[in-house]
Amino acid sequence: MPGCYAPECVATASNRTMANPSISTRDPEAVRVSTVTETRENSYAARYATLADANAIDSVIHAAFGDSAPRSSAAREIKRNKTTYIVVTKASGADPATTGTNGQERKVGWQRRLRSLFSSSIGSLEPENRMSNVVGLVGIWTALNQAHIVVIATHPNERRRGVGELLVLATIAEALKTGATNVTLEVRKSNLAARSLYRKYGFNDVGIRHRYYHDNREDAVIMSTPSFSNLEYKRSFVRRWKGFVTVRGTPEMQFDPMPYLALPE
């Protein structure tokens, strides 16, 4: 499978055949997070993919990987419930490179700020004037209580704007939600920027798959998060969420992982 050549478009894995019952094929709904406690806005949203997104997913994958793109079809995988896809979309006309703050950000408790990411008040989101453009995606295959990233990609025009980081965050949140014990992936050995991003979110090198990638027979590094039962890892993940919001602003999210991030007092 192809590797990714940018910090925010970072890994692929071999095709998987086991079905994932967590796939959603319903019309997407998204949460617009309240900005009462946040003055910084984020132009991106993360939601579950539907069949209507299949062509856009394939387009982003091919734009990101070129001739080394995976041969599988997103539509086929979604129909067969093989992989849960989460897509990141971009507000029409938004330029995240220039999006900033309009005044000093208020100081609030981390619990309130983190919860603001995942408001449970779900409302309609009109694609024609909001988040209509798929600019990134991640495919997650789950089996035996382990979530595995099979593909993650960011459109070349949207790299270095936090899309890849949002995809990693959304993947871990989804894994927590579905009851997985950890997240694993394969990434090209030469992709040092991608490996650095993964390490930021707790992934560690756990093995090597020799001559794994079909285009140049490059080795793949197997990476894994610690077990989600590790309280220190959960605390670290919460801190990373807080940091992401501070730097990038509050995104829209379709799902709420807060019940799965509860920490002892």
Q: Which residues are catalytic?
A: 186, 198
Phi–psi pair at 166, nearest 5 degrees: -60, -40
Q: Which of 64, 73, 68, 66 is nearest to 153 (CA)?
A: 64
- CB-facing half-sphere around the CA of 144: CA atoms within 13 A: 2
At 152, list the tokens.
């993650």
First-residue to last-residue Cα distance in the chain: 44
Q: Which of 167, 190, 191 is nearest to 87 (CA)?
A: 167
Phi–psi pair at 169, nearest 5 degrees: -60, -45
How far is residue 123 CA from its own chain's centroid?
21
The structure tokens 């938004």 sit at: 94
- Residue 136 vs residues 44, 63, 162, 200: alpha-carbon distances, Å: 10, 11, 10, 19
Exposed/middle/buried for 67, CB within 10 Å: 0-12, 13-18, 19+? Answer: exposed
The structure tokens 């077990």 sit at: 227
At 19, list the tokens.
């079905």
